[in-house]
Amino acid sequence: MAQHSLERLNVILIGSGNVATNIGIALQDAEAEITQVYSQDVANAKILARTLAKKSKASKPKVLTNLSKIDKRPSLIIIAVKDSAIEGIVKQLNVNDGIVVHTSGNVSLDVLKKFNQYGVLYPLQTFSKGRITDFSNVPMCIEGSDVSTLQSLMTVAESLSDCVYNLNSKQRAGAHLAAVFANNFTNHIYAVAEKLLNEQKLPFDLIRPLIDETAVKVMDISPAAAQTGPAIRKDNNVMKSHLVNLKKHPELKKMYALFSAEILKTAKKKIK
């Protein structure tokens, strides 16, 4: 378990979405105090402030309606908004003290270079407001503008997680790309599978054990070694049958053919 206490850390959260909600609660669990919350959607900011107040003995965070009213002497300002909104927030934000970080996997550290101390605190995990995540095993990818800032962010990250990685912007972007394949695309494939099951009036529960076993298996062996199915077996008759069954779904048919070809290509490289 992460062991550092953040008892004297006062934090300003910019954002009110999935990441802001989960990281805010995790920081409170580590005894940091969330003093202010800002979001372009004030209603969502109020919801987050109430959520944080319920989960902490500290006073309810103040909801900001304008970034000009931000506390000028915070310990840490966390910009947890979608990537396309970060630059706009940075332009509005005028502070000289404290560390300013963003939580993006794909945005460079340099977007924050106007500040005296700045960095990145990127939790490599999927988050939802309605499902609070245990941060103890969430990989925290950090980057700092200088050694002192990096050390401070290391302390924050280690208070939240047992898995902390010091990555530069290029490495972090590569990790984020891998995460999109491993999580976002995979989840879409689950949605496709659910659709195909629904067409046969079958429940998604039918393949939940398969999903569980697939995920558990790659914890022990490499994904390439864990690959199964008709493509890796070169079972052309099965694949042809599947393609026929997908004739009403031309886009899924293309997807099936593309994935099968990639699996076969990977298998050939493995043999070499």
- What is the pairing mode between strands 99-102 and 164-166? unpaired
Query: Average pLDDT, stretch 60-64?
Result: 93
Phi, psi of 140 (to 5 degrees): -105, 115
- Calpha distance 185→191 (Å, rounded): 10
The residue among 50, 268, 42 whose CA lies nearest residue 34 is 50
8-state DSSP, 128: B
C-alpha distances in Å from residue 192, one per residue of 186, 223, 243, 253: 10, 21, 15, 12
257 pLDDT above the threshold of 60: yes
Domains of the chain plus CATH, in order, are: 10-167 (3.40.50.720), 173-271 (1.10.1040.20)
**Selected residue with higher pLDDT from 6 and 63:** 63
> pLDDT for 121-180, tens place per residue?
999 999 999 898 999 999 999 999 999 999 999 999 999 999 999 999 999 999 999 999
Residue 58's pLDDT band (cuts 50, 70, 90): low
Give the three-class secondary structure for 80.
Answer: coil
Residue bearing tokens 């605190």: 121
How would residue 60 be classed by pLDDT, with cut points 50, 70 and 90?
A: confident
Region 75-95: mean pLDDT is 96
Per-residue model confidence (pLDDT) at position 59? 75
Distances from the Cα of 74 to the Cα of 17, 96, 97, 223, 255, angstroms: 21, 10, 7, 44, 49
- Least Cα distance to 26 among 151, 157, 141 occurs for 157
